[in-house]
Amino acid sequence: MTKVVKSSWDLVREAIQGGRTDEALELIEQGEGSWLVDHYPEFRKQISMRLGEGQDAQCFITPDNPAVSAKVQEITGGYAEDVKEWWADCERLYFWVIRNIEYAPDIYTPVLPEPMNETLRWEEGFWRMPAETIKDGAGDCEDMVVLLASMLLNYNGRRHPVWAIGIESSKPKP
């Protein structure tokens, strides 16, 4: 049996992707100072992606994810050609999300500055991947939207577009 040894960067990336930013920061603090400098751009990108800004938001729509596919199949039994059944399945997916995903406010996520020597700020806005939302049974508005969009695209086999429109408040960011 071969033992897989993960690099410190792999451990940090897994912690970030799993929403465990405190663990990721602790792993960095345990490492050598040059480690952060060497990996800062990728580390910054991984964390910033979780804020769902700009084009990064598109990567959260994951209709081909196995957890999404399994849940869609469980709820609908598969794609229906009949229009009435098709709409009923879309409704089933919607109601499954609102009845089974508990609203949970976002955790604060560090917004790493560019360049590195500027001030770190924290922002409330951590996006979960649809599989994480299913697994956790919880998420906020964006998490539920990207889950439902992923489920609808999976259900219809991308035959029909699904739009997820985000509206930001005019409240200024700190």
Higher model confidence: residue 158 or residue 153?
Answer: 153
Q: Is residue 83 part of a domain?
A: yes
Q: Is residue 29 part of a domain?
A: yes
Q: Which has the higher per-residue pLDDT, 2 or 129?
A: 129
pLDDT given at position 112: 77
Beta bridge partners, 110, equal 122
Q: Tell me the residue ranges of DSSP E strands in 7-163.
A: 102-103, 108-111, 121-124, 138-139
- Within a domain: residue 174? no
Same domain for 32 and 70, yes or no, is no
Q: Higher model confidence: residue 150 or residue 114?
A: 150
Do 77 and 24 belong together in one domain? no
Which range marks the domain in which residue 1 is found?
Answer: 1-49
- Are the C-beta atoms of residues 97 and 148 closer than 8 Å to each other? yes
Number of domains in the chain: 2
For residue range 13-63, what is the model confidence (pLDDT) as tens digits?
777 777 776 777 777 667 655 666 777 788 777 777 777 776 677 889 999
Do 144 and 99 have their domain in common? yes
Q: Specify whether the CB–CB gap between 67 and 151 falls below 8 A.
A: no
| Mean of all residue pLDDT scores within the chain | 83
Instruction: Assess whether 11 and 31 both reside in one domain.
Output: yes
Which H or E element spans position 83?
A: helix 83-100
Eight-state DSSP code of residue 56:
G
Domain co-membership, 68 together with 21: no
Is residue 80 located within the same domain as residue 45? no
Quick check: pTM over 0.75?
no
Q: Compute the distance between CA of residue 119 and CA of residue 171 in angstroms, rounded to an integer.
A: 21
107 domain residue, yes or no = yes
